[in-house]
Structure 1
Amino acid sequence: MSMRGQPTYHLPAGRTAHGPYALDIGPEQAGWERSSLRVVELEPGGVHTLVTGESEWIVLPLTGSCTVHISDEIFELLGRKSVFSGVSDFAYVPRDAHAQIASGAGGRFALAGAKCERRLPARYGPAPEVRVELRGSGNCSRQVNNFAAADAFDCDRLIAVEVLTPGGNWSSYPPHKHDEHHPGEESVLEEIYYFEVADGGLGYHRVSPSRPGGTDVLAEVRSGDTVLIPDGWHGPSIAPPGRTLYYLNVMAGPGEKREWLIRDHPDHRWIRDTWPSQPADPRLPLYGPEDQG
């Protein structure tokens, strides 16, 4: 996105609100080819119609529960109280479809999307099957909910995960990138970070250039903010003391294979070598796949 001709990669909450969406970022707005993220807020009894067009989508409850009606199928999403309370179930909605999202009690629902070629079947993703992974150690410990990771759930292009970082920790670290094609080493992926901070407060996120004139961001992020990453070394994401930092990562790229391959920044990759000698943060996991609420 741009403002006065200059690229804008940090988008504070409300900046992209449009129509029924509290957040609306697509390829046209972001200036890239595939990745999208919307957040729809439904009042009690509210209904939203999603026209998928050329993109595949995942409906992921952030707060609340809903039903997703696609053709002759209805998926009941139990959802959760918040992104900090448990894993959520989700629904996959294919391209070239109409879906109705309805919520009796109301809630906030992320729509993670990617332009794609194949039309896959609509499916339900149960919360107990979401793989919860602990990454890093010490003050680099974080939790990853791999609900739509490349090796966890079948999509054509879309890759999406949730990351929770306990207060005071660094995640998305060491800084890494995925903006060049190197078979078996690095894949090209456009990425959106959507942030929430438990109980308010702020965190920080860094993107540094990987090429002359590349993306350069140092952002103070709050709940509802997004950061766009078309290229560049991204990380760390820093959680404030006493506040858990959440982010939803949405990615897609042009590669023949749907894969998440990253290259660490050469000045910082040494940090991985320290992890085996440190215990994981004892606050993790914040919850497991059995915790849906």
Structure 2
Amino acid sequence: MTSNELYIAKGTAANAQYVVDIDPKRAGWTHSSLRIVELEPGGTHTFTAGDSEWIVVPLQGGCTVQTEGEEFQLLGRESVFAGVTDFAYVPRDARALIASGAGGRFALAGAKCERQLPARYGPAPEVPQEQRGSGNCLRHVRNFASADAFDCDKLIAVEVVTPGGNWSSYPPHKHDENRPGEEAELEEIYYFEVDGPNGFGYQRVSPSRVGGADVLAEVRSGDAVLVPDGWHGPSIAQPGHDMYYLNVMAGPGETREWRICFHPDHTEGYR
């Protein structure tokens, strides 16, 4: 894909059901997906999981999720900047109904998978959080579905909030090769929201191979960037405007793990 195809501006991946709909066909890869649905007060949305596992993540508002004979009440949050949220896991081959009395915006993070795991609820207080980096590289990470925090077959998903004026996804790193014990091959989606009506940020992806991904994009709320390969980072937040992104990852490896390789030219002092 070209650089222009890897940057997905708000509205350009929308359809009748979703304001964002990035599936493997749209992305030009095999594993990772992201959908975002907006519901009016009292609205509902039904979807079938197919050959993928999904996590329903409230971005704004709360909802109920019915699937596999279970009903999960998601309290949600006022916005992605308000803190962590609870979430619901929908297994492959399942059917799910999302209903929201007050309305809201909900992300569906997905990955093609093989095993059918049980439908489950993820409580917000159990989401591991960490402060990563220091100085102007400090950021806040919410590891709600990292490989060591929540059981999935293939899906890995986390949230990052970068304070205004700071850099994250730094040092630049990659995960586009299968090197056991050192690096895991993962496709990745970045979905962005920026605090404030005029906020923006920047996302860089540089090639790790000849003809590889090469992106420098100004990003605003509702935009996404695809990372099929390459060194990604930094993610840069405009001063005065905190920047949020949801990372959705999956790959072909038998073991579900997040193993990355840092760019050797930019590692000292930050790793």
TM-score class, shorter-chain normalisation, is: over 0.9
TM-score (structure 1 length as normaliser): 0.91
Q: Which amino acid aligns with 2:254?
A: E
The alpha carbon displacement at 1:247 in A equals: 0.2
CA distance in 2, matches of 1:271, 1:33: 35
Count of aligned pairs between the two proteins: 270
The reply on whether 1:161 has 2:139 as its aligned counterpart is no
1:233 equivalent in structure 2: 231
Matches within 5 A, 1:1-293: 8-200=5-197, 201-272=199-270
Output one character per residue of 1:171-220: Cα deviation in whole Å (capped at 9) or x when no partner: 00000000011111100000000000001311000000000000000000
**3-state SS in 1 of match to 2:19:** strand
The alpha carbon displacement at 1:34 in A equals: 0.6
CA distance in 2, matches of 1:252, 1:86: 25
The alpha carbon displacement at 1:50 in A equals: 1.3
Contact 1:174/1:271, CA 8 A, preserved across alignment? no
CA distance in 2, matches of 1:42, 1:71: 22
The alpha carbon displacement at 1:253 in A equals: 0.4
CA distance in 2, matches of 1:64, 1:54: 28
The alpha carbon displacement at 1:272 in A equals: 1.7
**3-state SS in 2 of match to 1:29:** helix
Q: Which amino acid aligns with 1:141?
A: L
List 4+ stretches of structure 1 deviating above 6 A: none
Q: Which amino acid aligns with 1:35?
A: S
The alpha carbon displacement at 1:64 in A equals: 0.3
Q: Which amino acid aligns with 2:85?
A: S
Output one character per residue of 1:115-155: Cα deviation in whole Å (capped at 9) or x when no partner: 00000000000000000111111110000000000000000
State percent identity of aligned pairs: 71
CA distance in 1, matches of 2:41, 2:17: 14
Q: Which amino acid aligns with 1:233?
A: W
TM-score (structure 2 length as normaliser): 0.98
Structure 2: give runs of 5+ residues left out of the alignment: none
CA distance in 2, matches of 1:256, 1:105: 41
CA distance in 2, matches of 1:221, 1:48: 28
**Cα RMSD (Å):** 1.0
CA distance in 2, matches of 1:136, 1:268: 14
Structure 1: give runs of 5+ residues left out of the alignment: 274-293
The alpha carbon displacement at 1:72 in A equals: 1.6
**3-state SS in 1 of match to 2:270:** helix
Q: Which amino acid aligns with 2:14?
A: A
Q: Which amino acid aligns with 1:8?
A: E
CA distance in 2, matches of 1:21, 1:214: 29
Contact 2:58/2:87, CA 8 A, preserved across alignment? yes
Contact 2:164/2:241, CA 8 A, preserved across alignment? yes
Contact 1:170/1:236, CA 8 A, preserved across alignment? yes
Q: Which amino acid aligns with 2:128?
A: R
CA distance in 2, matches of 1:190, 1:93: 20
The alpha carbon displacement at 1:71 in A equals: 2.9
**3-state SS in 2 of match to 1:87:** coil
**3-state SS in 1 of match to 2:266:** coil
